[in-house]
Amino acid sequence: MIILMVVTAVIVVQLIDQPLGEKGAVQRERIMGKGSLDIFVSESHSYEDRFLFTYTPRNPGSRFDCYMSYEFREDGNSLENVSEKFYGNVSVENPIVLEFPRKENSEYELKTIIEDKSGINLHKSEIEISPATIENETEIK
- What's the rounded Cα separation, in Å, for the pair 14 and 20? 13
pLDDT at 88 over 70: yes
Confidence (pLDDT) at 103: 92
Return the domain boundaries, the chain.
28-138
- What pLDDT digit, counting tens, does each position of 11-47 carry? 443 444 333 333 322 333 334 444 567 899 999 998 8
Is the pTM higher than 0.85? The answer reads: no
Q: What are residue 32's phi and psi, to 5 degrees?
A: -110, 110
Q: How is residue 47 annotated by DSSP?
A: -
Answer whether CATH 2.102.10.10 is correct for domain 28-138: no
- What pLDDT digit, counting tens, does each position of 102-131 carry? 998 999 999 999 999 999 999 999 999 887
Contact between 37 and 54 under an 8 Å Cβ cutoff? The reply is: no
